[in-house]
Amino acid sequence: MNQYQRDWRQFYRAAQTGFTGTIAVGEMAAGSGTRVVGRDIDLSIFHSQNGRGWAFDIGIAVHVNSLLAVSASVENIGQITWRDVTRQRRYAEDEVDLARLGWSPATQEFEFDLADGEFNEAKEPANDITWKLPMRVRVGVSYRFDQKVTLHGSVRYTRSGSGSGDTLVGGQIEYRPVSFAPLTVGASYSTQDKRGLEAGAGLMFNHFRIQVTGKTCSR
């Protein structure tokens, strides 16, 4: 192709997503626009409607004394296995057009068109896919100052099946204007969601508690 100057740059490559190949951007002749092309594109989409899995949580809470309590838990220990998986491929050998964009002097407008590249298609059975659930480890502590004010703090670590992790540190102040209606405000920080604020209200009964909480987060 000599109508544009090739400036190949690898844009995205990840075997876990089922995509291989190179996407590149190059200028067309006489500055007439920009051409997006793909080379050796191979995109696989895996889908299944039949899966089974298992999971369980474990935890413990201890009242050290009448004022202090500590807790720890491990959640989402388990996995899901998808069966009867189908792999649908769209691939192109060598080079194929993906899109064209640029300024049109005739219409005085910016134009963008998806190119009708020639892709081959194939559909075939694939091996079962197993997903590890995002396991979550949490440690918390509560300290009651008096009958109306209690402080809560926790550290939570979540690890996804792909290996990425997120650590969250949070704290709340609980205030009870009356003994059966706790109000809470709190803040948290995590490596993914960054800062977060929360507020809630609840009702206490003899053997259970109802709590409604609203949260916001900002990056």
pLDDT at 9: 34
| Burial class, 164, CB count within 10 angstroms (exposed 0-12 / middle 13-18 / buried 19+) | exposed
**CA–CA distance, 128 with 52 (Å, rounded to integer):** 11
Residues 145 and 196 in one domain: yes
Does 6 fall in a domain? Answer: no
What percent of the chain has pLDDT above 90?
A: 39
Residues 175 and 194 in one domain: yes
CB 136 within 8 A of CB 157: yes
Structure tokens at 207: 């053997």
pLDDT band at residue 5 using 50, 70 and 90 as cut-offs: very low
Residues 38 and 138 in one domain: no
CB 52 within 8 A of CB 80: yes
* Range with lowest mean pLDDT among 99-108, 170-179, 201-210: 99-108
Each residue's pLDDT tens digit, 132-160 = 899 999 999 999 999 899 999 999 999 98
CB 42 within 8 A of CB 21: yes
Does 22 fall in a domain? Answer: yes
- Tell me: pLDDT of 105 over 60: yes
**CA–CA distance, 3 with 16 (Å, rounded to integer):** 35
Domain boundary among the residues 99, 129, 159 is at 129
Q: Is 7 in a helix, a strand, or coil? A: coil
Does 100 fall in a domain? Answer: yes
Domain count, the chain: 2
Does 149 fall in a domain? Answer: yes
Highest mean pLDDT among 41-45, 170-174, 176-180, 210-214: 170-174
Residues 37 and 62 in one domain: no
- Tell me: pLDDT of 93 over 80: no
Q: What is the pTM of this model?
A: 0.64
CB 136 within 8 A of CB 75: yes
**Cβ atoms within 10 Å of 133's Cβ, excluding its own:** 17
**CA–CA distance, 79 with 55 (Å, rounded to integer):** 7
Domain coverage including residue 153:
55-83+134-218
Residues 149 and 73 in one domain: yes
Please give the mean pLDDT across all residues of the chain.
81
Does 209 fall in a domain? Answer: yes
When pLDDT is averaged across residues 192-217 and rounded to a whole number, the result is: 88
pLDDT at 8: 31
- Tell me: pLDDT of 214 over 60: yes
Does 211 fall in a domain? Answer: yes
Residues 36 and 78 in one domain: no
83/115: higher pLDDT: 83
Structure tokens at 8: 């190949």
Closest CA relative to residue 188, chosen from 131, 126, 140? 140
Residues 113 and 176 in one domain: no
84/38: higher pLDDT: 84
Does 5 fall in a domain? Answer: no
**Cβ atoms within 10 Å of 38's Cβ, excluding its own:** 22
Residues 101 and 198 in one domain: no
When pLDDT is averaged across residues 28-54 and rounded to a whole number, the result is: 77
